[in-house]
Amino acid sequence: MKKYENFSAHLETLKKAPGEDLHNEFIISGIIDKFSIQFELGWKVFKELLLQEGDSAGKTGSPRDIIKAAYKYYSFMDEEVWLKMLRDRNNTTHIYDGAEALKLVRRILEEYIPAFVQTDQGLRERYGEMLWK
């Protein structure tokens, strides 16, 4: 599944973020951009998998609805964290303050990357080789 392959490959790049210079504005901006893309890939993977599960929520275009439906299927998923990611992703274009950007980067490093990793591991355990077809 191409969406999952993109999710997994992109995650490998995002996992390098904790080792970057968080005093550099370009690095901070890059981490936020990578997070936004990773979130997009994540909810779209859920959408596709919900369709495969036969859940009609997969037919909606709403990330919020997809996240809520996915939570019912995936015990490894923290719905609260994913909904918080959605809010932060929606607000990234409105962050003009460097201190606010750094706060978001801290959430990305401390909460969101681990949630993406947990999702990746959970999906691999549940679907295995099917993810690469």
Q: Considering the entire predicted model, what is its pTM?
A: 0.93
CB-based contact 65:46 (threshold 8 Å): no
39 falls within a domain? yes
Question: What is the per-residue pLDDT across 26-79, written as a single tens digit (0 to 9) for each?
Answer: 999 999 999 999 999 999 999 999 999 998 888 887 999 999 999 999 999 999
Q: Does residue 28 lie within any of the structural domains?
A: yes
Under the banding of pLDDT at 50, 70 and 90, the label for residue 83 is: very high
Q: Kindly state whether residue 133 falls inside one of the protein's structural domains.
A: no
Domain assignment of residue 132, yes or no: no
The CATH number covering residue 91 comes to 1.20.120.330
Amino acid at 120: D
d(CA 130, CA 85): 27
Rounded Cα–Cα distance for residues 29 and 103 (Å): 12
- Number of compact structural domains in the chain: 1
Residue of 10, 125, 11, 1 whose CA lies nearest to 75: 125
Containing domain of residue 96, as a range? 2-127
